[in-house]
Amino acid sequence: MLIIGSGLAGFTLALHLAPHKKICIVTKLTADSGASSWAQGGIAAALANDDSPQKHIHDTLIAGAGLCDENITRLVTENAADAIHWLINQGVNFTGDQDNETGYHLTQEGGHSMRRIFHSGDATGKAIQQTLIQKIRAHPNISIFENHIAIDLIISDKLAGCAATDRKRCFGAYVLDKKHDKVSTFTAQNTALATGGASKVYLYTTNPDTATGDGIAMGWRAGCQIANMEFIQFHPTCLYHPHAKSFLISEAVRGEGGLLRLPNGDRFMLQHDPRAELAPRDIVARAIDFEMKKRGLDCVYLDITHKPASFLKSHFPTIYARCLELGIDITAQPIPVVPAAHYTCGGVVTDQNGRTGLDNLYAIGETAHTGLHGANRLASNSLLECVVFAQAAAKDIVNQPAIDLPTLPDWDESRVTDADEEVVIAHNWDELRRFMWNYVGIVRTTKRLQRAQHRIALLHEEINEYYANFRVTSDLLELRNLVDSADLIVQCALRRCESRGLHYSKDYPDTLSVAENTVLTKNNLP
């Protein structure tokens, strides 16, 4: 079994399959460097006495703006308790509260009607990943290939000797060993894409540098359907500071009473939504964007100074410490914040078991489009989705019959040379992220999208020529995947002639009465 990616989805799948199969995890940096480790808020589950999966479903459907798959939403929310208990059994130390009937402190985040977020301080993802990685490294059936980046999937219709009438199958992937500059062929009965999202396509993001849309781009090139890439979630509150690259101020700060203010101290969220600071992320992000553009502001401020200092230090130790390093005492000063690209709601289309349209290929976590998030992900549903779908995929994989694996050809470098100058890659990377931020951001127009589309076409041409003539490098592969991901985002955005959820168009400000997914296949593109 080949798992590409080392976040919560990939780790959960590996641990469930390890008693049955040999597992190979490929990760392009270290095993704990993915976006899962950066998750601050927590994982949503309706376990309190006054809560229920039905209430969780209701909140998810409202946030998803009519595009959530209700059956998938029910599947996820009804399996949330099992997901939490599995994590606890692995040793994850969620923050306790003996006064709560669950035995754990539950917090509330935007879009949730109840306190249902299990968390470990304000560094939940890190706590989960550090716990699971110990089990991953100790398991004899799991091998981790760090500093390896997948290039492309190996698909049957590209191989000599595989009948054209056969269903398309995935047999593994070509993988670059970054340290030794060598490409290897990884052959596998089953392959899972678990590489996270594509938020690094934007100039400002809360994600790590690894979030370059690798799995989505590889799935697209292999022939998978891609859906709803126009729905990029911009987290409302990323710390605004010249030395605070990608530092997120958790949704839970607003959940615990944080107020958004203008530089003069005035609140503004009530003018945009009756739920104020607890409105879903798309509404809060657009409100901040509106106020910043209207008033020419560099940022707004998140103020939680009315809470006791002891409360803030115990509930938000990571945020408190990081802000203090930068000269901001959150117990006495409001936090300067701006929106930033945070989560990719679309991705590779899968069924309820994580299966893609290609046999033996699965997609889980942020890489996948399962139907759970609709037009806007509800806070803290992402880690939950990782666990539930990894568990479902593991059950499906165990029940799959073994297939005869063909002899796969080695990677062919016979017609390429070393790159003469790599400044082209750095320049294109910077150009892409800047025009995506300016033209395909929180508020869009058709003209801006068409401008982005034109520039993407030029970048595609340059990168394909570069890829064809020079040996692959990690930077080139990530840029190639980012450009493919940007293209998919723009293609989907141009097809949606309405405003819904995370996609807001000035040219189409109304929401259509019928909600439909934007599904791309290679043969339906103009």
- The closest of 254, 517, 235 to 372, measured between CA atoms, is 517
Hey, which residues does 234 pair with through a beta bridge? 341
Task: Write the burial class of residue 114 (CB in 10 Å: 0-12 exposed, 13-18 middle, 19+ buried).
Answer: middle
The DSSP annotation for 420-459 comes to S-THHHHHHHHHHHHHHHHHSSSSB-HHHHHHHHHHHHHH
Contacts of 464 (CB under 8 A, 6+ apart): none
- HSE-CB for 347 with a 13 A CA cutoff: 34
Active-site residue, selected from the candidate residues 281, 355, 377, 448: 281
Q: Is 451 designated active site?
A: no
Residue 91, amino acid: G
Say what the alpha-carbon torsion angle 425, 145, 388, 138 is, to the nearest 10 degrees: -150
CB 291: neighbour CB atoms within 10 A?
18
Rounded Cα–Cα distance for residues 40 and 247 (Å): 10
Q: Which helix (H) or strand (E) holds 318?
A: helix 317-325
Rounded Cα–Cα distance for residues 131 and 112 (Å): 27
Tell me which DSSP letter residue 131 carries.
Answer: H
Rounded Cα–Cα distance for residues 211 and 214 (Å): 8
Q: Where are the beta strands (DSSP E) in 204-344?
A: 226-227, 232-239, 259-261, 300-303, 335-344
Residue pair 239/316 in contact (Cβ under 8 Å)? The answer is no
Active site amino acids = 281
